[in-house]
A and B are shown apart, each in its own frame.
Chain A
């Protein structure tokens, strides 16, 4: 079982719709959760971080965390073609390790 699992996609949504991206993780002591966006041929860039159960909103982005279910999601409202990218979920354990563990990413396509 992979430590961080994501559906590879592609997830295709029409422009203006809500895109929902999901991620599950296996390490119960994980404490910090991040969403990175990676455009094709570019490096990852941080878009959201979340540490507590519940929702965290930042503009059109909402991160949701449920530690009991070991589940984190990212919602993108009013999706734009410029949101088309691969979204990487990353998790940091609370075991003293500093390294982030990344999922394989979900490719999002927003259709104009």
Chain B
């Protein structure tokens, strides 16, 4: 068990560019979540996968955001046409979906949009 891995750790981009983040969950976990966190706030839910199926998306999630989890393993989160308001820490979490919903978080990807 190597924990939840996220890549890259930091991303600096210019407004209008597209960015993609990757998350590798704990290997036996079938549920994967993306959250976003800004300074002084708690994590805000973005989207959730069970295996390869995307089962929930936040109502706040802009059409510029898309996530995939092909084959139910790693996941990618893409943000198109980035805006300065997208600057945040993007956290991935995974869990083993039986009973207790204990999320294990990765170290996150810090996005700065200039």
B42-98 with Cβ < 8 A to chain A: 42-45, 48, 50, 55-56, 58, 91
Interface residues on A, range: 20 to 34
Query: Which residues on the B side are within 8 Å of A100 (C-beta)?
Result: 45, 101, 103
23 A-B residue pairings within 8 Å (CB atoms): A8-B40, A32-B101, A42-B107, A43-B105, A43-B107, A44-B91, A46-B103, A46-B104, A88-B42, A90-B42, A92-B101, A97-B56, A98-B55, A98-B56, A98-B101, A99-B45, A99-B56, A100-B103, A101-B45, A102-B43, A102-B44, A103-B42, A105-B41
| B48: A residues at CB distance < 8 A | 98-99
Whether a CB of chain B sits under 8 angstroms from the CB of A45 is yes
* Residues B100 and A49 in contact, CB atoms below 8 Å apart: yes
Expressed in whole angstroms, the Cα–Cα distance for A32 and B31 within the complex equals 17
- A99, B100: Cβ atoms under 8 Å? no
Query: DSSP majority for the A interface?
Result: strand
Closest-by-CB residue of B relative to A46 is B102
The reply to whether the CB of B106 lies closer than 8 angstroms to some CB of chain A is yes
> B25: CB under 8 A from chain A?
no
Q: At the interface, yes or no: A104 with Cβ under 8 Å from chain B? A: yes
Bound CA span A8–B39, Å: 12
Residues of A within 8 A of B43 (CB): 44, 88, 102
A104 partner residues in chain B, CB cutoff 8 A: 40-42
